[in-house]
Structure 1
Amino acid sequence: MKDIHELTTIEMVEEAIQQHELVFLYVSRPECSVCHALFPKIRALLEPYPSIYLGHINANEVEEVASKFLIFTVPTMIMFVEQKEYIRADRFVRLERLEEQLQQIHSMYIQDEE
């Protein structure tokens, strides 16, 4: 199963983005039923990509995340490649489209490394 890194401060979030080339952030709230239903699917979707760092942020605990990343609803997913935002999805996510985007980024990134 894909490792999840619980990010409990905005500094931890910023550090993760700076230290890892591929970062997928999942922002949720404990009372959000969509968040709970979607997260296992996202985790499974990311399983084939060991180079992608998966960070989970509880927006109730890290309130600054909303203003830092302009998050207006949960769940919100943001993919960073070398500290630049490449994918943003929120609330009702089309998993097929997200998977296509992840495959494209991963294949481009792997080609660039070779």
Structure 2
Amino acid sequence: MNVQEITSVGEIDTFIQNNRFSMLYVSQEDCNVCHAIYPKLKELLSNFPEIKLAHVDARRVGEVAGKFLIFTVPTIMMFLDQKEYLREGRFVQFEQLERKLQQLHNVI
């Protein structure tokens, strides 16, 4: 899976504008939960090739927390046509997330 590394808030805006289905994965280097969830998320998204994934390190792009009201990492945010469609934070329930993505896939 090809993941875009984001280094500024401007890049986030461009990524969301350029991809109908876009997902942001916001993490931090020193977060063990973040490191555990990331490979699982990439594996899950391999079943949904239309969803484009970008990774944001919240320490390097500090403005991301204020822009999207992120209070904990990891945070997964899915955008559909530039509107936030779903958000999962800290402890991600992958079965539930997969169900939501499958519903979206079926509707589209």
The answer to whether TM tops 0.5 is yes
Runs of 4+ displaced beyond 3 Å: none
Could you say which residue in structure 2 is the equivalent of 1:5? 4
**C-alpha distance in 2, partners of 1:75/1:56?**
10
- Map 1:8-19 → 2, pairs under 5 A: 8-19=7-18
- Map 1:76-95 → 2, pairs under 5 A: 76-95=75-94
User: SS state of the match for residue 91, structure 2?
Assistant: coil
Does residue 51 (structure 1) correspond to residue 62 (structure 2)? The answer is: no
Give the drift of 1:13: 0.4
Does residue 64 (structure 1) correspond to residue 63 (structure 2)? The answer is: yes
Give the drift of 1:58: 0.3
The aligned length equals 108
Unaligned runs of 5+ in 1: 110-114
Per-residue Cα deviation, 1:41-79 (whole angstroms, up to 9, x for no partner): 000000011111100000001000000000000000000
**C-alpha distance in 2, partners of 1:105/1:13?**
22
TM-score w.r.t. the length of structure 2 is 0.98
Could you say which residue in structure 2 is the equivalent of 1:112? none
**C-alpha distance in 1, partners of 2:86/2:99?**
11
TM-score w.r.t. the length of structure 1 is 0.93
Does residue 74 (structure 1) correspond to residue 42 (structure 2)? The answer is: no
Give the drift of 1:92: 0.5
Unaligned runs of 5+ in 2: none
User: SS state of the match for residue 24, structure 1?
Assistant: strand
